[in-house]
Amino acid sequence: MWGFKGFPTSDANLARWVLSAEDICFKNSLLSYFFRLGKCIPITRGGGIYQEHMTEALERLNDGAWLHTFPEGKVSQENAAIRRLKWGTASLIVRAPVTPIVLPIVHQGFEEVMPEDFMFGTRPPFPLCNKSINIVVGEPIEFDLPKMREKAISMSCDPSLPSRGWPATSPCGLDEAAQRCLYSSISEQIRTVMESLRRFGTSILNQKV
């Protein structure tokens, strides 16, 4: 993101907030201090959508801030079809008082900048230079949340679904089963758009070869 026109910037009000893996960016007090200065919010992978810092992320959306998420929930260094997304991004969209603008971004080439198998199966200590990075920004994704909620309620009558211990009723009035249906539907809509952008980016890269 810092390669866009106008970035990098020293204006903290223009910088984005970003959900960051706690086990990578917050391993010790020094890293925690550094990444907190960079407006990173620690997220425990596998900790669920109702973990403590997801509430902090929701508060930033409520403030009208720019929040950057990685809906795949993992580091992926292969140019393969985008897999099923985690539900964290979808839950923030649903729980926000005002539906946020969702701008899909797909990047390719960072696996050359910080390859995971650079030396003895580890990443390089610093990003590598003179590498080509391709960033594709799509159109904002629109969600018809009232209609999607109704559909989720109608599809959530399967008593065999195991409980995840979520609140019995969400702020938007949905029980756990309906929430899961709604988050799954929103996530698939985002994934479909991102996969389309990934394929477009790949076609552009192939034309440059």
* Span 46-98, pLDDT tens digits: 888 989 999 999 999 999 999 999 999 877 767 788 999 999 999 999 999 99
**Amino acid at the residue 135:** I
Q: Which residue, chain included where needed, has tokens 């995840």?
A: 164
When pLDDT is averaged across residues 174-188 and rounded to a whole number, the result is 91
Domain edge (last residue) among 47, 68, 89? 68
Are 120 and 195 part of one and the same domain? Answer: yes
Domain assignment present for 64? yes
Q: Say whether pLDDT at 43 is over 50.
A: yes
Cite the DSSP H helix spans in the chain: 22-25, 29-37, 52-62, 88-95, 110-113, 145-155, 176-208
Are 112 and 152 part of one and the same domain? Answer: yes
Q: Is 106 helix (H, G, I), strand (E, B) or coil?
A: strand
> Over the chain, what is the mean pLDDT?
86
The pLDDT of residue 5: 54
Domain assignment present for 73? no
Q: Where in the sequence is the domain holding 19, given as residue range(s)?
A: 1-68
The pLDDT of residue 171: 59
Are 125 and 183 part of one and the same domain? Answer: yes
The pLDDT of residue 7: 57
Assigned token pair, 158: 């399967």
**Amino acid at the residue 55:** T
Are 53 and 27 part of one and the same domain? Answer: yes
Are 83 and 64 part of one and the same domain? Answer: no
Are 101 and 8 part of one and the same domain? Answer: no
Instruction: Please count the residues of the chain.
Output: 209
Give residues with Cβ within 8 angstroms of 49, minimum separation 6. Answer: 87, 88, 91, 166, 183
Give this prediction's pTM: 0.84
Are 11 and 91 part of one and the same domain? Answer: no
When pLDDT is averaged across residues 138-143 and rounded to a whole number, the result is 96
The pLDDT of residue 1: 44
pLDDT confidence tier of residue 2, bands split at 50, 70 and 90: very low
Number of domains in the chain: 2
Are 120 and 186 part of one and the same domain? Answer: yes
Domain edge (last residue) among 44, 68, 92? 68
Are 62 and 86 part of one and the same domain? Answer: no
Q: Say whether pLDDT at 106 is over 90.
A: yes
When pLDDT is averaged across residues 155-163 and rounded to a whole number, the result is 63
Domain assignment present for 131? yes
Domain assignment present for 121? yes
Domain assignment present for 37? yes
The pLDDT of residue 111: 85
Could you give the CA distance from residue 107 to residue 172 in angstroms, rounded to a whole number?
A: 33
Domain edge (last residue) among 17, 43, 68? 68
